[in-house]
């Protein structure tokens, strides 16, 4: 059974960098037909896709428009995990953050447990 | 970006009665492989979203057959043939045709 386990701080100060990690068990981050995504949810913004990383002969990453200038999503094959870094956070970045697996022709079929991140001094 | 619009915003339902949710996209979700890249998710209270329907009309594993998805191009519908109490929550459509992936605003289903 595939499992995604998130880790990272629940409180980040304004202007600092939000960093979360998603450990994968039961699958590998370089699997074919899979993308590894970060999604967040807040009352003001609803469900918002932040970006993804995936391997197709080489590594690719795509990002959401609202965070494109501040975000990095990267894989770590040695640890079988992927991570999110969001720079220069503001209170608007307060949300529940999810790492998820998307399988081609199968949708988002695995979700992490969610991490509530609050941006506050 | 592809804009996803759901309706209604809120849907009070009577157990045993049917329910229907609409999702429209700002451009066609049909890809050259013949699939529509539109998925449906249900977020039950206190839980993360769960996959109901993928590629417009395919039920995910374990999803009861009272749930069905249909549609083409830019117009899609999720139907519940007979609502049960456990179906309450917020339903979302999501397009995965092109990055950035985008969600609809959600439809809250509650029991009358």
Tell me: the pLDDT tens digits for B3-58? 999 999 999 999 999 999 999 999 999 999 999 999 999 999 999 999 999 999 99
Q: What is the pLDDT of residue B40?
A: 98
Mutate to test the interface with A, among B101, B105, B106 (most CBs of A within 10 A): B101
Q: With an 8 Å Cβ cutoff, is A10 touching chain B?
A: no
Q: What is the pLDDT of residue A98?
A: 98
Region of A86 (left: φ > 0; alpha: ψ -120 to 50; beta: rest) is beta
B95-111 pLDDT tens trace: 999 999 999 999 999 99
Single out the residue of B29, B33, B110 nearest to residue B75, CA to CA: B29
Using CA atoms, how far apart are residues B77 and B29, in angstroms rounded to an integer? 13
**Average pLDDT estimate for B80-98:** 97
Single out the residue of B37, B58, B60 nearest to residue B50, CA to CA: B60
B73: distance to nearest CA of chain A, Å?
Answer: 17
Using CA atoms, how far apart are residues B3 and A21, in angstroms rounded to an integer? 29
Q: With an 8 Å Cβ cutoff, is A43 touching chain B?
A: no
Tokens 């594993």 belong to which residue? B61
């Amino acid at each position: 059974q595939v499992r995604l386990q998130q880790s990272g701080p629940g409180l980040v100060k304004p202007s600092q960098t939000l960093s979360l990690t998603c450990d994968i068990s039961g699958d590998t981050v370089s699997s074919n037909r899979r993308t590894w995504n970060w999604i967040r949810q807040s009352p003001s913004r609803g469900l918002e896709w932040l970006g993804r990383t995936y391997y197709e002969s080489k590594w690719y990453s795509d990002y959401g428009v609202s965070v494109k200038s501040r975000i990095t999503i990267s894989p770590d094959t040695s640890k079988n995990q992927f991570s999110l870094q969001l720079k220069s956070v503001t209170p608007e970045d307060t949300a529940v953050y999810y790492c998820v697996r998307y399988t081609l022709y199968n949708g988002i079929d695995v979700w992490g447990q969610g991490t509530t991140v609050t941006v506050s001094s | 970006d592809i804009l996803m619009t759901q309706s209604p915003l809120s849907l009070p339902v009577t157990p045993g009665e049917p329910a229907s949710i609409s999702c429209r996209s700002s451009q066609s979700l049909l890809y050259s492989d013949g699939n529509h890249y539109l998925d449906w998710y249900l977020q039950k209270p206190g839980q993360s979203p769960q996959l109901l329907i993928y590629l417009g009309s395919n039920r995910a594993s374990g999803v009861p057959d009272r749930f069905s998805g249909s549609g083409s191009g830019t117009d899609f519908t999720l139907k519940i043939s007979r609502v049960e109490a456990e179906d309450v929550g917020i339903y979302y459509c999501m397009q995965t045709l092109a990055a950035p992936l985008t969600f609809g605003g959600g439809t809250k289903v509650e029991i009358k």
